[in-house]
Amino acid sequence: MSASAFETISQTTRLYRPQDVGLLRLAGADRARFLHNQSTQQIQALEPGQWTETVFVTSTGRTLDLATVLVTESALWLRVSPQRREFLLRWLDRYIFPSDKVAAEDGSGEYGVLTVVGPAWEQWLAPLGAVWPAPQTFLTWRWLDAELYLSPETGLDLPGFTLWYPREIHRPLLEVLAPLSSLEEEEWETLRIYQGRPAPERELTEDYNPLEAGLWRAVSFAKGCYIGQETIARLNTYKGVKQRLWALDFSAPVQEETPLTIAGEKAGLITSAVGKRALGYLKTKAGGAGSTVYAGEIEGVVVPAPYLRHEYFQPGSS
């Protein structure tokens, strides 16, 4: 798929209905402290009505998954990758001690998610009785006697919003949004790769850490200890990120798992690809944006991607 196809998709307003979702719910008085200690973001500082992104990592700072968190009055809702849902539920349960007032549950059977993405997203709020939330917050409101959440993000740094809704109102919700054209899985994958959002089993694996994956937005360097914190803090302090995830534009279509070379030397690996566009990890010493790379005989150039960040955190910065 070409860059022009990406432009066509991103310039129309569409409805994305994922084939599967991963929703976890943490309840109990200790839920915020617990998640704060199990992931990279500053969870305890959040108030009900706020949302954030956070990363689950191993004790050595390797990536398990990227999650979106909504803080409600009674629970923390986490949207995780569908293929990591059961693993993360077991993983979290391992760290809940008998004295902890925390319960981790799979909420995927109770709630679903829909994403409206595109420039005309705003006109779809009124039919739902919704208003746009303030910055860094999400909206909670009742519609058809059910409680919905509207988060002002699409997961792709593209305009739009995501609805978290009880499954019993799935049909009437789709009836309201029926005039929207559907965004198919292949098209969503195209948007993901062009925007640079890392995906599980591609860019989000235990081969990489969240700083290499460009997920600085989801990491707090001002919070206390959490699983993997020491490794991640050291990488930032000593500027030790040895490889970075970049977008790559090639002169011809490429395939994932193709090694990247510079001057005949292996420099990285393609992790996702759609047509001439790809995502891949590149050794930091090999170069960055503007560098020329090769996938076999195919020439490409390293380019920034909207979703990815690669600047080291400086104490005192926001």
pLDDT tens-digit readout, 102-112 = 999 999 999 99
Q: Do 271 and 179 reside in the same domain of the chain? A: no
Q: Average pLDDT over the chain, rounded to whole?
A: 95
Q: Do 164 and 260 reside in the same domain of the chain? A: no
Report residue 89 as tokens: 């539920």
Q: Residue 254 maps to which CATH number?
A: 2.40.30.110
SS3 call for 153 = coil
Asked if residue 122 belongs to a domain, the reply is: yes
Last residue of a domain, one of 130, 164, 195: 195
215-241 tens-digit pLDDT = 999 999 998 899 999 999 999 999 999
Q: Do 105 and 168 reside in the same domain of the chain? A: yes
Q: Do 95 and 21 reside in the same domain of the chain? A: yes
Q: Do 7 and 110 reside in the same domain of the chain? A: yes
Last residue of a domain, one of 172, 195, 218: 195
**Residue 4's pLDDT is what?**
67
Domain, as residue range, for 40 = 3-195
Q: Do 86 and 183 reside in the same domain of the chain? A: yes
What does the alpha-carbon distance between residue 168 and residue 164 come to, in Å, rounded to a whole number? 12
**E strand or H helix at 181:** strand 181-183
Q: Do 16 and 158 reside in the same domain of the chain? A: yes
Residue 13: is its pLDDT beyond 70? yes
Cβ pair 151, 162 in contact under 8 A = yes
Q: Residue 14 maps to which CATH number?
A: 3.30.1360.120
Asked if residue 215 belongs to a domain, the reply is: no
141-191 tens-digit pLDDT = 999 999 999 999 999 999 999 999 999 999 999 999 999 999 999 999 999
Q: How confident is the model at residue 123 (pLDDT cuts 50, 70, 90)?
A: very high
Number of structural domains found in the chain = 2
Question: pTM for this structure?
Answer: 0.95
Residue 304: is its pLDDT beyond 80? yes
Q: Do 24 and 118 reside in the same domain of the chain? A: yes
The number of residues in the chain equals: 318
Last residue of a domain, one of 195, 225, 256: 195
**Residue 315's pLDDT is what?**
81
Asked if residue 187 belongs to a domain, the reply is: yes
Asked if residue 76 belongs to a domain, the reply is: yes
**Residue 224's pLDDT is what?**
84
Asked if residue 228 belongs to a domain, the reply is: no
What does the alpha-carbon distance between residue 95 and residue 65 come to, in Å, rounded to a whole number? 17
**E strand or H helix at 7:** helix 3-10
**Residue 262's pLDDT is what?**
96
To 10 degrees, what angle do helices 185-195 and 3-10 make?
110
Report residue 41 as tokens: 């973001």
